[in-house]
């Protein structure tokens, strides 16, 4: 619900900007060559988004990718009972940045070691942020935990809330 509001607010703001932009004529000018396309930079969070983030930080349970991985390895049934279907703040260093067989963006966050990971499927709206990410950066995601698949805890509908510095490559 909140993401729909944010999208609508952004759309409304862009509409207002277009209305305020003076136009020489109603016919768009044709340029000789198309302008080069650069990747979109992540936009600065609005005041409402920052307040929403603060509220999420207080209200949502927080779990590290290492702890989530260890919990699922120790007892999948107990971990599912505690986490499955719940929205959490999930944080940890990035092991890899991938795409699924269906084209979805995936961040693999470090589990107990660099060889193990928590698989987080990222929302398509986060593409500009994902493009700027690098392996070993520490990220904070807002995700819904979906259980364990092929030995790895999984999460869906993830949005990137914060990106930090790179963690040492051997550190969990």
Residue at 120 is within a domain = yes
The mean-pLDDT minimum among 30-39, 77-86, 113-122, 131-140 falls in 30-39
Spatial distance between the Cα atoms of 121 and 42, rounded to a whole number of angstroms = 19
Domain of 137, in residue numbers: 64-165
Q: What CATH number did the domain enclosing 95 receive?
A: 2.40.50.140
Distance separating alpha carbons of residues 137 and 143, to the nearest angstrom: 18
In a domain, 172, yes or no: no
pLDDT for res 71: 95
80 occurs within a structural domain: yes
pTM over 0.85: no
Q: Is residue 74 part of a domain?
A: yes
Total structural domains within the chain:
1
pLDDT band at 59 (very low <50, low <70, confident <90, very high): confident
Residue 55 has pLDDT above 80, yes or no: no
Residue whose token pair is 């509409």? 15
Number of residues written out for the chain = 172
Domain assignment present for 12: no
137-158: pLDDT as tens digits = 999 999 999 999 998 999 999 9
7 in any annotated domain: no
Tell me the CA distances in angstroms from 130 to 10, 11, 26, 81, 127, one per residue in order.
20, 22, 37, 30, 5
Is residue 90 scored above 60 in pLDDT?
yes
In a domain, 82, yes or no: yes
144 within domain boundaries: yes
């Amino acid at each position: 619900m909140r993401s729909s509001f944010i999208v609508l607010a952004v759309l409304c703001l862009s509409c207002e900007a277009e209305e305020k932009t003076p136009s020489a004529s109603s016919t768009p000018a044709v340029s000789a060559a198309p302008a080069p396309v650069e990747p979109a930079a992540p936009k600065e969070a609005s005041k409402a988004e920052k307040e929403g983030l603060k509220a999420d930080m207080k209200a949502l349970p927080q779990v590290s990718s290492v702890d989530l991985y260890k919990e699922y390895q120790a007892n999948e049934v107990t971990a599912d009972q505690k986490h499955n279907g719940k929205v959490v703040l999930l944080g940890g260093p990035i092991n890899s940045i991938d795409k699924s067989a269906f084209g979805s963006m995936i961040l693999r966050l470090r589990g107990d070691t660099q060889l193990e990971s928590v698989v987080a499927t990222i929302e398509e709206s986060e593409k500009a942020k994902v493009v700027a990410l690098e392996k070993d950066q520490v990220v904070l995601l807002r995700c819904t935990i979906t259980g364990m698949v092929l030995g790895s805890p999984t999460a869906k509908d993830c949005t990137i809330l914060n990106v930090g510095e790179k963690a040492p490559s051997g550190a969990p």
